[in-house]
Amino acid sequence: MSVAGETSPPMLAIRDLQLGFRSHRGDVQALAGVSIEVGEREIVGIVGESGCGKSITALSVMGLLPEGTTRVMGGSIEFRGDDLLTLPPRERRQMRGRDIAMVFQEPMTSLNPIMPIGDQIAEPIRLHLGLKGAAVTEHALDVLDKVGIPRSRNILPDYPHQLSGGMRQRVMIAIALACNPSLIIADEPTTALDVTIQGQILDLMVEARDTFGTSILFITHDLGVVAEICDRVVVMYAGKVVETGRTDEVLSSPRHPYTQGLMRSLPSLDTRQERLETIPGSVPALFDMPRGCRFRPRCSYADDGCRRDPPVEVIGGQKVKCWKARQISGVHHA
């Protein structure tokens, strides 16, 4: 789908990923065949509501799934052509922070509270770049400068609680960028921040892509943020991908009933509505998934045919996992 994908293998290709989750109510399927591609220099957004599996998808790419309770049951995660799931644990660990880095939602709790900022940035630099002594400090100051914390404001001896929320997230991004990774996974990096600070951080992420050519997998629940920075978007619902496509296309003409419902239930700044449209009901629990299309019980188009697993329809540039996609869009079978 990505432009780069046609000539070379994409940076990241998650193919039919299945993930099991052990709970007190038995084993459940947290991800039921998720496929996502991220091309070179591309920012791909994953949107969806809580429990849709977007964060767990990110953690499975990083290899940071909670041990003991979560298990990959099938599929592959190819990074520059190699399947991460078959790599020996040691190699996989060494890729973390060097080739694939991650930025988390809560910059306050994601930094070690009792370790100076400088030491926290230095860790991946020493580990992956093999630098020592003064070179490490130089490199750390360089990276901080790139995320908008000038050298003159040396925060290396400071502790996280001495910084503001926005500064802390800049530090997290600096840690992620420290070894110039090919891919950054950002899990709701602006959700905990104020709106004026959020803008600064979004600018920073786009800048990182433009200057270092980093690909970014951006996880968020906020369609506004997707519109702002993502080239392509993946919409997830209840452990499945329901729609993918170019951001402008998906947001201007959503084809899956869930994407449509999501867009309509957002209060608009441009038009005046008396009432918001809603999606009836709520997200099904993992241990109580409907058969076939998982959106069926909440979908106004659904009929008995939707009890079978829906196919992926390709409409224009969009891929839609829905029996009714063509009917809804007024597009007929070719």
What are the residues binding other proteins (CB under 8 A)? 49-50, 62, 64, 68, 93-98, 101-102, 104, 106, 109-115, 123-124, 127-128, 159, 161-162, 164-167, 172, 175, 194-200, 202-203, 221-228, 251, 261-262, 265-270, 273, 275-279, 282-283
What is the spatial distance between Cα 95 and Cα 62, in angstroms, rounded to a whole number? 9
What is the spatial distance between Cα 207 and Cα 214, in angstroms, rounded to a whole number? 10
Q: Of 274 and 304, which CB lies nearer to other proteins in the complex structure?
A: 274
Closest by alpha carbon to 83, among 67, 60, 53, 103? Answer: 60
What is the spatial distance between Cα 205 and Cα 98, in angstroms, rounded to a whole number? 18
State the nearest-atom distance from the C-beta of 306 to other proteins, in Å.
19
State the nearest-atom distance from the C-beta of 244 to other proteins, in Å.
18
State the nearest-atom distance from the C-beta of 8 to other proteins, in Å.
25
Q: Of 72 and 227, which CB lies nearer to other proteins in the complex structure?
A: 227
Q: Of 199 and 297, which CB lies nearer to other proteins in the complex structure?
A: 199
Q: Of 32 and 52, which CB lies nearer to other proteins in the complex structure?
A: 52
State the nearest-atom distance from the C-beta of 197 to other proteins, in Å.
7
CA angle 172/174/176 to nearest 5° reads: 70
State the nearest-atom distance from the C-beta of 175 to other proteins, in Å.
7
231 burial via Cβ count (<10 Å: 0-12, 13-18, 19+): buried
Q: Of 141 and 230, which CB lies nearer to other proteins in the complex structure?
A: 230
Q: Residue 24 has which token pair?
A: 């007190």
What is the spatial distance between Cα 264 and Cα 37, in angstroms, rounded to a whole number? 27
